Structure 1
Amino acid sequence: MSHKMAKSAVSGIPTFGEVAAEDDAILEYFVQTDSVSTVVDGNKFLILGRKGSGKTALFRYFNEKQPQGSLSLALNLRGYPWAMHAKRGDPDAATAEQYEASWKYVIVTEFAQMVLSKVTGTSEWTSEVKSLRAFFQKNYGGTNVTLEDILRPSSLELSKTSFEPTILGCKLLSVSLERTGSQSGLSRELNALSDAIYEAASYVSQREQLDKILIHFDELDQGMVDFNEQRQLMLIGLILACRSINQQSIKSAVNVKSIVYLRTDMWERLSFSDKNKITMTNLAEIKWNEQSLKSLLDLRINKYIPGASWIDICDDDLMRGRQPKLTHIIARTFDRPRDVISFMNTLLEVSTPRRSAAGESQQFTNKDVVAARPDYSNYLKAELDDEIKPHWPSWDEALQVISGLGKLSFTKASFEAAYNITRLAKNFSSEEAMEILYDFSVIGTYSVQSGYGGSEWVFRYKVRKAKWDENASTFKLHLGLKEHARVNE
C-alpha cells in the first residue's frame, strides 16, 4: 500500500464496530472461519464462550444467513418464562434430569412446527401431517406456537386424530403438565408424547427431503438475577435434552440437531454426572488470540479502506518493552472482540484532535495508545461489574484494596493485611476474595514452571483449566485495570 494511502487510513474509518458481540465485524469473521462448520457438522452442540466472545454473533449468523445445506431456527431466550417452566419439572426423576423431559418436548415441538411449515404437495395428506396438525390445533389453536407458550397449557390433550402414545400397554389420553405432590410420572408420559411427535416430524422431514435442521438456544443468562440451583438444574436439563435429541437423530438418520450457546462461567458452575463426557465429546469453545483478533480488525479496516490492514493505520514505533502496538493493546483485554473493539474506538476518539492538526501523522502513534488506556480501563471495570456484581456486589471494594497497595503486582500477605481491616472480611475471607478475583481474571498468579525452569503470569481467561492455587504467594492485577486502579508497574 502506498504511504499516502496509509497516512489517510485512520481518518477513513468512522468506527471499529459496536461493542456488542452481535456486531457485523464479528459475524463477518465467523463466515470466513471453520466456526460455522463446527456447529453444522459433527457432534459439537454446546458452544461455550466468555461474555463478549461472539457466541451471539455466531447464533445471529445462523438466524440471518441460513447457510447452504441447513435450515436454522434461532430461539432467543431473552424474556423466557423461566418461573413457569420451573413448574414443569419432574421431582421423581434424578436431580440432574428433572427438566430433561420438558426441554425435549420443547425441542421436538419446535422441530415439528418447522417441518410443517415446509410441507408441500401430497405430504399434506399423510397421516403424520394430519396427526401433527390435529395435535397443535387441539392444544394451541394452530401451528404458530411461540417458544414462551409451548409449556404454558396446564395439560396436553391427545386423541385418535393426533397421538395416542402408550405406556405399559395403556394409551395416554392426556399429559398433565401441572402435577400435585401425589402425581408422578411426568417425564415418562412427556417422553412418550415427544417420541411420537418426533417420529411423525422425522417422517415428514425425510419425505420432503429437508436439509439439516438446526435449532439454536441463546441468551440463556438474560434476566437472570441469581444463578441458583433451580436455574442450574434447568440448564442441565436443556443440555441433556439436546444431547438426547441429537443422539436419537443420528440413530434414525434424521437431519435435526439442537445447539446450546452458553457462557463459560455458567458451564463451570454446573455439576452433573455426564458433564465430563460432554466436555470431552460435545463441547466447542470460542477462543481468540492475537492473530484471530488482528484478522477481525483487518476485516473492519478493509471494509472502509479496501486493501488496507492494521499495519497501514499505525506507525512502526514499538511500545515500551519493544512491544508492537497490537500486542500492547490485546494484553489489556480478555482476548475477546468487544474489548479490542472498545479500545480501538477509544483510540479513534482520543487521537482525533491530534490527527486533525496540520502536518500531524494520520497513523496511530504510541502516545495515542497510551492516551486511550484510561477510558478503556474504565470500560473494562464496567464490564467486570456486569459479570461479578451478581455474585459479589462489593467486589469493587476489593479492587480498591489493590489500588491502595499501589502496585500492579503484590503479595498475598500484603493483600490479606489490607483486606482484613475492611468490612468485606465479614462476608468473604481474604482467601475467598482472592479466589473470586482470580476466577474472573481480575488478578493472575505468578507460576514457576517445574522441571523446565522459567516462570509466567497465569490468568484464567488465558488458561481456563488453571484452577485457584491456595499456595500462590505473588499476584498481578490485570493490565487492563491498571489505569482505573491507579497502580504503578
Structure 2
Amino acid sequence: MLSISEVENFGAIDADADDLLRECFQDHSAYVAAKKQKKFLILGRKGSGKTAIFKRILTERHPNEFSYGHSFDDYPWQHHDLQAQVGVPEERRYFHSWKYLTLIGLAKVLLNSDQSQPWSDDSFESVQALEDFVVDSYGSRDPDVRQLFSPEKELRLKSVLKVPFFELSGERVRVRELPPHIQEVNRAIQEHVLRALNPNNSYYICFDQLDLGFVKSQESYSQRLVGLILAARDLFLVARERGKKLNVVVFLRDDIYQDLQFEDKNKITENFTSLVQWNESGSGLTLKKLMESRFTNVLGSGGDPVIPWEDVFDETREMPSRQTKYKHICDRTFLRPRDMIKFCN
C-alpha cells in the first residue's frame, strides 16, 4: 500500500477529466435501468454523476452494443431554432427536429459502427436507402451533427421515397424549408432505421449537458427540452413495439425537469425516469463505497483487498462538531460524488 503522501489525488471532479472513472465506476441503478432499456430519462442534481453514466455508456465496448452521444457545449442552437414548427402546441415545436437529429445519429451508427449490417434482406434495402440519403444530402457517411441543420444544406429525398406506403412531396428540400416536410421525412427515415436495427444488438443515443449556456426562464429553452423528452419517448416506445433494443437516453438536472410543464409529464415521471442519488450509509450505493474503490485503485497494488475509509481517514478523532469525518463531509456535499472527491482530495 502506498503512503498517502505519495498520492496526488483520488480522481477529478469533472467526469471528462477523471482518469479513474472507468476503473472505479459504480453500477448505479439509473445506469442499469438505462442499459436494460427500462428508463430513458435520467435525472439528478448537478454533480450527482449523470455525466459519469453518460460517458460510461459511450465508452463501454461490447460486440453487440453501439452508442452515440450528443453533448451540446458547442451546438449551433441558432440553426436548430429555425426548425421550430409553428401552428403546433408549444411542447411539440421541436419534437420533429429532435427526432430527426436522433434518427441521423442512429443512421451514423448503422453505417459506420454496426458490423452486423445487413443482417436481413429488409435491412439490406434500408441500410442502402439510409446511406444514399446521408451521403447525397451531407456528402459523407459520417456527417458532422453540427451541420445537420445548416440552413443552406439540401436534403436529397429520393432514397427515402423507397419506403412502402409513404410518399414524400418532393425529391429535395433545403434545411431552412424543412419544418413543413419534416414529419413525413422522419416517418420515412424512422421506418428504414427500425428495419435496419439488429434485434440481437443494443443501441443507445445519449444526450447530455443540455443545461450549458441556458437559463430556465427562457421559454424557448423549456420548449426545446420538452420536445427532446417527447421525441425520446416516442422512439423508445416504437422500438420496443418492433422488438428492437433502442434507448434514447436523456440526462437532465432534476431542478430543471421540475420546472417543465407538459401534458404527459406525470406518465413519463412515473414510468420512464430514474434518479441519480447516493446514500450516506446502508446496503445500496454509498459515497463511502465510491471513495473506497478509489482508495483501493490509487493506494493499492493490484490484488490488495478493498482499502476501507478508516485506513485513509482517522475516525478515532472526531471533528470539532463531534461528527466523524465521513459524516462531516457528507453533510457538506449534499451527497454528490463530485463534491466528495473534492473534499477527499
- TM-score interval for Structure 1 and Structure 2 normalised by the shorter chain: 0.7 to 0.9
Deviation at residue 166 of structure 1 after TM alignment: 9.2
Structure 2: state its 5+ residue gaps: none
- 1:60-79 to 2 correspondences below 5 Å: 60-66=55-61, 69-79=64-74
Q: Is contact 2:67-2:109 (8 Å) kept?
A: no
Deviation at residue 50 of structure 1 after TM alignment: 1.2
Deviation at residue 237 of structure 1 after TM alignment: 0.6
Aligned to 1:197: 189
Aligned to 2:179: 186
Which of 145, 148, 154 pairs up with 2:146?
148
Deviation at residue 16 of structure 1 after TM alignment: 2.1
- 1:257-296 to 2 correspondences below 5 Å: 257-291=247-281, 292-296=286-290
Aligned to 1:305: 299
Letter in 1 for 2:5: S
1:109 correspondence with 2:104:
yes
Q: Distance in 2 between matches of 1:62 and 1:329?
A: 29
Deviation at residue 80 of structure 1 after TM alignment: 0.5
State the SS of the aligned residue for 2:207.
strand
Q: Distance in 2 between matches of 1:93 and 1:64?
A: 38
Q: Distance in 2 between matches of 1:147 and 1:261?
A: 19
Q: Distance in 2 between matches of 1:309 and 1:55?
A: 26
- The CA deviation string for residues 144-195 of structure 1, in whole angstroms up to 9 with x for no partner, is 1122112224452322x4426799977443445425xxxxx936x3122222
Q: Distance in 1 between matches of 2:63 and 2:28?
A: 15
State the SS of the aligned residue for 1:44.
coil
Q: Distance in 1 between matches of 2:228 and 2:249?
A: 10
Letter in 1 for 2:133: F
Rate the CA distance shift 1:146–1:227 in 2: closer, same or farther, 3 A: farther
- 1:371-450 to 2 correspondences below 5 Å: none
Which of 4, 17, 20 pairs up with 2:11?
17
Q: Is contact 1:66-1:72 (8 Å) kept?
A: no
- 1:291-370 to 2 correspondences below 5 Å: 291=281, 292-306=286-300, 307=305, 308-315=307-314, 316-320=316-320, 322-345=322-345
Q: Is contact 1:17-1:341 (8 Å) kept?
A: yes
Q: Distance in 2 between matches of 1:170 and 1:115?
A: 23
Q: Is contact 1:124-1:130 (8 Å) kept?
A: no
Q: Is contact 1:18-1:341 (8 Å) kept?
A: yes
Q: Distance in 2 between matches of 1:70 and 1:169?
A: 33
Which of 205, 219, 228 pairs up with 2:209?
219
Letter in 2 for 1:199: E
1:39 correspondence with 2:38:
no
Aligned to 1:127: 125
Rate the CA distance shift 1:279–1:331 in 2: closer, same or farther, 3 A: same
* Residue range with higher mean Cα deviation, 22-31 or 291-300: 22-31
Q: Distance in 2 between matches of 1:239 and 1:246?
A: 10
Which of 171, 174, 177 pairs up with 1:173?
171
Q: Distance in 2 between matches of 1:153 and 1:43?
A: 36
Deviation at residue 269 of structure 1 after TM alignment: 2.1
Higher relative contact order (CA 8 A, sep 6+): 2
Q: Is contact 2:166-2:188 (8 Å) kept?
A: no
Provide the alpha-carbon RMSD of the alignment: 2.7
- The CA deviation string for residues 268-291 of structure 1, in whole angstroms up to 9 with x for no partner, is 221111112111111111101223
Aligned to 1:81: 76
* Residue range with higher mean Cα deviation, 29-38 or 117-126: 117-126
Q: Distance in 2 between matches of 1:262 and 1:196?
A: 29
Rate the CA distance shift 1:299–1:30 in 2: closer, same or farther, 3 A: same
Q: Is contact 1:135-1:162 (8 Å) kept?
A: yes
Bigger Rg, which one: 1
Q: Is contact 1:21-1:52 (8 Å) kept?
A: no
Q: Distance in 1 between matches of 2:120 and 2:136?
A: 18
Q: Is contact 1:21-1:55 (8 Å) kept?
A: no
Q: Distance in 1 between matches of 2:224 and 2:118?
A: 40
Deviation at residue 339 of structure 1 after TM alignment: 1.2
Rate the CA distance shift 1:124–1:113 in 2: closer, same or farther, 3 A: farther
Rate the CA distance shift 1:319–1:199 in 2: closer, same or farther, 3 A: same
Aligned to 1:249: 239
Rate the CA distance shift 1:113–1:11 in 2: closer, same or farther, 3 A: same
Letter in 2 for 1:329: I
Deviation at residue 36 of structure 1 after TM alignment: 2.9
Instruction: Report how many residues are paired.
Output: 330
